[in-house]
Structure 1
Amino acid sequence: MSNSISPTQISRRNLLKFGAAALGTSAVTATLSCVSTSKMQVNQPSAVPANLSPDDALNLLMEGNQRFVSEKRINPHQSFGRMAEVAEHQTPFAALLSCADSRVPVEIVFDQGFGDLFVVRQAGNVVTPEETGSLEFGTAVLGSKVIMVLGHERCGAVKAAIKGGEFPGKIGSLVAAIAPALTSIEGQNGDPLENGIKANVSWQVNQLKKSPVISELIAAGKLKIVGGYYDLDTGEVEVLS
């Protein structure tokens, strides 16, 4: 079997990773935009407004959560018409790195629909090269104005990291990605698990900020990155610093 790799086998993540280092964010965005828009139709959905600021995008996200909490959801963009509208092209206004927990259905929690959110889900909402590459694509190419790293109450992955020990299969890799965040909660008052979950969110936010693609967008005022804490009992999302 040949070990050669054709250009078409290069992933979007690798283009972002290597292109950002060699050419900078602008060149990567231009290159990947060509890939992303190659199948666009004339009747494509409108892009994220150019004047939508990162703060505006965060407000839209949190307004949706308040509708969810108050049981006043409007269920936007959830029709078959909207599904057809975004079938060939997407322009999500926000990107999220969320835990894979089945109790945290992101679009429902923020009262959004097809094409609104670019969601990456991973147990423990940990940052890996793949998650970083996905969020680089969601922001630099698709135009999301805000990234939220969303942890949640009673997170099993963080609980396992606090408990420690041996874990089967690849579960230990998730725990290892969370463990460095827990050093900051030593001696803290309050519930150790809640402290650990919030510390993990903060740690993962800082890991994402190390991306040259993401950091350049933040410096240019085109992107905001925040942490969030989802309360399983009330449905409310708290924005963390």
Structure 2
Amino acid sequence: MNADTHPLPARRCLLRGALTSATALGAGLTVGAAPATAAPRPRHRPATPAQALRALAAGNARWRAFREEHPDETRAVRQELVAGQHPFAVVLGCIDSRVPPELVFDQGLGDLMTVRSAGEVLDEAVLGSVAYGVLELGIPLVLVLGHQSCGAVRATVEADESGEHLPGHIQYIADRIRPVIDRTRTGEARVDATIDANVRLVRDLVAAEPDLAARVRAGELAVVGARYELTDQRVHRVA
């Protein structure tokens, strides 16, 4: 794994320390602001990777059937969340406006921690954000969510075939997707297969991060690849 796809340990520790310090600072600013009160009991949350996966699957089934519950949007929930958050999954997805995780999994406030970048591409900030959810909030599931007709993957494949250099920082995205282009296929099949291959790449990179890998080995965390189909709104795992 090269330096472009796997962050340096020193930088990773620095980021994690900064996030932890920021959390402590935020808590410190509230000291003395109001009388001490017991924090409200958190709502029931999936506590294991398997439970979290089942909750997401159930929510996606409701979304597909147009039977959304729009959970956790009440006044009581909003007030409860002032005291803290207890999300049960990190969803690392694409920025595509057609694939908002809270909607496709029918979840509400405080349920998911979402991190989004074009093509689910990792950089230091994206990986640090995922790690923050797991290490600081104890989230048991990271779901890497690709999707049908991903524009970032298509742009990468087309630029690779034409030799075009993409404008601005878009080339950065393409450079990270290009290694998994499926060259055994052509046309739309190549784009589609590369979408799945990119999900696998990102899933494996996240799972290989040392602090997260330790939790995976302990059974406290699962890092799962999945894909959302625009045609029927179904989310399914990518093996």
- TM-score between both structures, scaled by the size of structure 1: 0.81
Give the aligned residue type for 2:193. N
RMSD in angstroms over aligned alpha carbons?
Answer: 2.7
Matches within 5 A, 1:65-84: 65-84=60-79
8 Å CA contact retained: 1:101, 1:123: yes
8 Å CA contact retained: 1:45, 1:89: no
SS of residue in 1 equivalent to 2:38 = coil
Matches within 5 A, 1:26-175: 35=24, 38=27, 42-46=38-42, 52-164=47-159, 165-175=164-174
1:209-235: per-residue Cα shift (whole Å, max 9, x none)?
221111111011100011111011211
User: How far apart, in 1, do the equivalents of 2:195 and 2:10 lie?
Assistant: 32
SS of residue in 2 equivalent to 1:232 = coil
Give the aligned residue type for 1:107. E
Which sits farther off after the overlay, 185-194 or 210-219? 185-194
Between the aligned residues of both structures, percent identity stands at 31
Pick closer, same or farther for the CA change 1:33–1:15 going to 2, 3 Å: farther
Gaps of 5+ in 1: 1-13
Give the aligned residue type for 1:239. R
Pick closer, same or farther for the CA change 1:233–1:41 going to 2, 3 Å: farther
User: How far apart, in 1, do the equivalents of 2:37 and 2:123 lie?
Assistant: 33
SS of residue in 2 equivalent to 1:191 = helix
8 Å CA contact retained: 1:181, 1:199: yes
SS of residue in 1 equivalent to 2:232 = coil
Pick closer, same or farther for the CA change 1:19–1:222 going to 2, 3 Å: farther
Residue matched to 1:10: none
Gaps of 5+ in 2: 1-8, 31-35
Which sits farther off after the overlay, 217-226 or 189-198? 189-198
8 Å CA contact retained: 1:48, 1:93: no
1:58-87: per-residue Cα shift (whole Å, max 9, x none)?
111111101111111111102232122112
Which sits farther off after the overlay, 76-85 or 126-135? 76-85
Residue matched to 2:3: none
Pick closer, same or farther for the CA change 1:47–1:78 going to 2, 3 Å: closer
8 Å CA contact retained: 1:148, 1:228: yes
1:145-165: per-residue Cα shift (whole Å, max 9, x none)?
110110011000000110112
CA deviation after TM superposition for structure 1 residue 138, in Å: 0.4
8 Å CA contact retained: 2:153, 2:177: yes
Corresponding residue to 1:221 among 205, 216, 219: 219
> What is the number of equivalent residue pairs in this alignment?
217
CA deviation after TM superposition for structure 1 residue 120, in Å: 0.1
After the TM superposition, which segments of 4 or more aligned residues of structure 1 sit over 3 Å from their partners?
31-34
Pick closer, same or farther for the CA change 1:36–1:234 going to 2, 3 Å: farther
- TM-score between both structures, scaled by the size of structure 2: 0.82
User: How far apart, in 1, do the equivalents of 2:40 and 2:21 lie?
Assistant: 18
User: How far apart, in 1, do the equivalents of 2:156 and 2:111 lie?
Assistant: 33
